[in-house]
Amino acid sequence: MKVKYNLLNTDEKARYGTLETNYGTYETPMFMPVGTLANVKTLTPEEIKEMKCGIILANTYHLWLRPGEDIIEKAGGLHKFMNYDGPILTDSGGFQVFSLARPKDITEEGVKFKSHLDGRNLLLTPEKSIEIQNKLDSDIAMSFDECIPYPSTYEYAKQSTDRTLRWAIRGKNVFNNDKQSLFGIVQGGEYEDLREYSAKETVKIGFDGYAIGGTSVGEDKVTMNKMIEYAVRYLPEDKPRYLMGVGEPIDLLEGVERGIDMFDCVLSTRLARHGNAFTRHGRINLKNAKYREDFTSIDENCDCYTCKNYTKAYVRHLITCDEMLGGRLLSIHNIRFLVKEMEEIRESIKNKKFKEYKEEFIKNYNN
């Protein structure tokens, strides 16, 4: 089936709703953990579910290179291959490819680049991206777009926005999968008129959901929030809105306030592997010596497996000894922290108390 978004409640621009998928119905706004190589690093699908995650992400570029989309297709698709019977969203591969390509290798046809594994020459096109995502059998596929760097000149942003629109049409033209949804991506850099143009034209092409891309690429937060506002106002109410690559606790609040329904970010698991934890009172690094004899949990308000069973001192010990369990326990905590934050955000929207919740959260987080 195609995903179906139901808007149930609003508090100013913040939206509470549900998203119906091939694998059940999930409440939004939601945070989606990233499973780059068909696994949310170090965690099993059972653990992901225990944290009450809904959709997870997988990366088209990485799975194209290893093990290859044909092997995943032979396995019966991503869900069977990785034993996850929840919804999966695949990105288009564009984000990784653009970081590997030289400017002159971005052409109308697609993007030429060298594999980060063995240096062989590869070409990713809008059609190829759809073909790979079709074989991966994700529930939501993303349109192939150019994620431009920040800052970019107006001229380049304009040229690129037009090309992304042409690519979106090419991708949609070869897309033919009733079980999969296809999301379009709004680009346009930091320019208000280009975001408006990109949003309106992408909506005209017609997709099952809309993403805002080109954010979280080095711009400051004020600029990022403006990019969201410039685009969201032209997106239809009855389709899900996804802000790509954004997932810091405060950024989630800023996105929800502007009408975003879905978020993803690798930060929660990446930070975990380096000993960092989100807490109600900001981010902490357990490598810090002050936690050596701290026998309290990472966050007293957290209901995750890690906080219920382990102390900061123990997790710190694992992290400083490079024990794998340390990163695992922190990944469980960090993902659950964001998922729980989203649960609370949804409650606050339903009760028309989102602004109060946001202010209180930020006050505690910065304290």
Choose the binding region for Zn ion from 44-52, 204-212, 331-339, 355-363 (rule: CB under 5 A). Answer: 331-339
Is 338 a residue that touches Zn ion (CB under 5 A)? no
CB of 150 to Zn ion, least distance (A): 33
Q: Which is nearer to Zn ion, 128 or 333 (CB)?
A: 333
* Residues in 267-326 at the binding interface with Zn ion, rule: CB under 5 A: 302, 304, 306-307
Choose the binding region for Zn ion from 159-167, 180-188, 327-335, 353-361 (rule: CB under 5 A). Answer: 327-335
Catalytic residue flag (residue 91): yes
Q: What is the 3-state secondary structure (H, E, C) of the chain?
A: CCCEEEEEEEECCEEEEEEEECCEEEEECEEEEECCCCCCCCCCHHHHHHCCCCCEEECHHHHHHCCCHHHHHHCCCHHHHHCCCCCEEECCCHHHHHHHCCHHHECCCCEEEECCCCCCEEEECHHHHHHHHHHHCCCEEECCCCCCCCCCCHHHHHHHHHHHHHHHHHHHHHCCCCCCEEEEEECCCCCHHHHHHHHHHHHHHCCCEEEECCCCCCCCHHHHHHHHHHHHCCCCCCCCEEECCCCCHHHHHHHHHCCCCEEEECHHHHHHHCCEEEECCEEEECCCHHHCCCCCCCCCCCCCHHHHHCCHHHHHHHHHCCCHHHHHHHHHHHHHHHHHHHHHHHHHHHCCCHHHHHHHHHHHHCC
CB of 78 to Zn ion, least distance (A): 28
Catalytic residue flag (residue 264): yes
How many positions of this chain bind Zn ion (CB under 5 A)?
5
Q: Which is nearer to Zn ion, 97 or 304 (CB)?
A: 304
Is 330 a residue that touches Zn ion (CB under 5 A)? no
CB of 145 to Zn ion, least distance (A): 35
Residue from 11, 139, 261, 264 carrying the catalytic annotation: 264
Is 333 a residue that touches Zn ion (CB under 5 A)? yes
Give the residue numbers marked as catalytic.
91, 264
Q: Where does this chain bind Zn ion (CB under 5 A)? A: 302, 304, 306-307, 333
